[in-house]
Amino acid sequence: MKPLALFGGTFDPVHLGHLSVAWEASELLDAEVRLLPASVPPHRPPPIAGAAQRTAMLRAALRGQARLTLDTRELDRSGPSYTIDTLHELRAEQGDRPLVLLLGADAFAGLPSWHRWRELFEVAHLGVLSRPGVEALLPGELQREIAGRRGTDAADLRDRPAGRVLDLAVTSLEISATRIRELLAAGRDPRYLLPCGLFDDPALLGPYRKR
């Protein structure tokens, strides 16, 4: 069975870095990839764009292809969304299907600050997406947790539902939502850092533009 990969984030806004690494992960793992926007991220300031606006941007960004899909369950829930709860819900729906939580290298290094982070390995594999400018040094407790979990290729994620960690060498794109928000706030037009669908409706990027 094809693994189901989940790529969580605030997507404030979704950009070509997200889409390109998610697409390549889907190819490398031969997996269905769902983008999973977070409602009230427990670890960071609230997003500039609201849930409905971020959903509209994601829908516009994903138009015209079927490899990447959208899962809005965390936005539909009230209150903070913990990844571990979402993964348990998906596990209940998907039976023994391999689940893969996709994380950029920066997010992976911060994993020990997540709610019940060690439990994540019981419910899903982790796919770590290379990201430019990210220091490769991992905290000691994370290194110890993953020492016996390293996989070497995608086949390692198919023979069990959860528990392995695999590095995914995706094409480096030095794009961040922070940079895009800065450019838009400064009145610039980061046209080729964003999916073209975001320019179809001027209201989509409205929350970030300078007034």
Selected from 26, 72, 86, 176, the binder of ligand ATP by CB under 6 A is: 176
Residue count of the chain: 211
CB 132 within 8 A of CB 173: yes
Minimal distance, residue 75 CB to ligand ATP, in Å: 13
Among 57, 107, 124, 128, binds ligand ATP (CB under 6 A): 107
Options 10, 39, 81, 83; binder of ligand ATP; rule CB under 6 A: 10
Considering the rule CB under 6 A, would residue 131 count as an interface residue with ligand ATP?
yes
Backbone torsion region of residue 5, taken as left when φ is above 0, otherwise alpha when ψ lies between -120 and 50, otherwise beta? beta
Contacts of 8 (CB under 8 A, 6+ apart): 36, 37, 38, 74, 83, 86, 101, 102, 103
Q: In the complex, which residue's CB is closest to ligand ATP?
A: 104
* Residue numbers 139-168 binding ligand ATP by CB under 6 A: none
Count Cβ atoms below 10 Å from residue 194 Cβ, excluding itself. 26
Interface pick for ligand ATP out of 60, 101, 177, 194 (rule CB under 6 A): 177
Question: Judged by CB under 6 A, does residue 178 bind ligand ATP?
Answer: yes
Whose Cβ is closer to ligand ATP: residue 1's or residue 69's? 69
173 binds ligand ATP (CB under 6 A): yes
Nearest distance, CB of residue 77 and ligand ATP, angstroms = 18
Smallest separation (angstroms) from ligand ATP to the CB of 10: 4
User: How far is 5 from 24, CA to CA, in rounded Å?
Assistant: 12
Q: Looking only at residues 12 through 41 of this chain, which bind ligand ATP when binding is defined by CB under 6 A? A: 12, 17-18, 21
> Where does this chain bind ligand ATP (CB under 6 A)?
9-12, 17-18, 21, 103-104, 106-107, 129, 131, 173, 175-178
